[in-house]
Amino acid sequence: MDTEMDFYQNLRNKMKNWLLSEEGKKTEWADYLMLAPDLFHLLCKLAIDPDVPTADKAKLGAAVVYFIFPVDLIPEALVGPLGYADDIAVAAWVLNTLLNRIDQEIILKHWAGEVPILELIQNIVAQGDKMIGSGLWEKIKRRFS
């Protein structure tokens, strides 16, 4: 999965550099945005895990494509790294639905981030409408349910 690692590394570098900029330092969502690469990595790992049911792999795959696709609800090309807020919301929503269907240990074994993933998912889901706006949040929930 060299493409996955290339995207992961590029995204991590982009986020790190942006969060050090004046604009990046001002965003209230900086902590979540820095986790975008780790969430992407988790989606990829779960999508190929044999313990994840096929129907759930389809949702995970759709979330991975959403991350990579340049034109989404908040396009990164137009708003910069802040545009990953909707990608993070998609990841959290898909992971939250997955938590209700599979053993959480499957998710935990693939999480490379430093913050507790289960708590992170719950926090993002709880703040989704504030983070990206209630209209977009409802679209994401409908599209990825």
The pLDDT value recorded for residue 77 is 86
Mean pLDDT, residues 33-45 taken together: 95
Using the predicted structure, report yes or no on whether residue 58 has a pLDDT greater than 60: yes
Using the predicted structure, report yes or no on whether residue 1 has a pLDDT greater than 80: no
The pLDDT value recorded for residue 100 is 87
Instruction: Out of 39-43, 68-72, 106-110, pick the least confident.
Output: 68-72
pTM: 0.91
Question: Could you tell me which residues come within 8 angstroms of residue 51 by beta carbon, excluding any fewer than 6 positions away?
Answer: 102, 103, 106
Q: What percent of the chain has pLDDT over 90?
A: 74
Using the predicted structure, report yes or no on whether residue 123 has a pLDDT greater than 90: yes
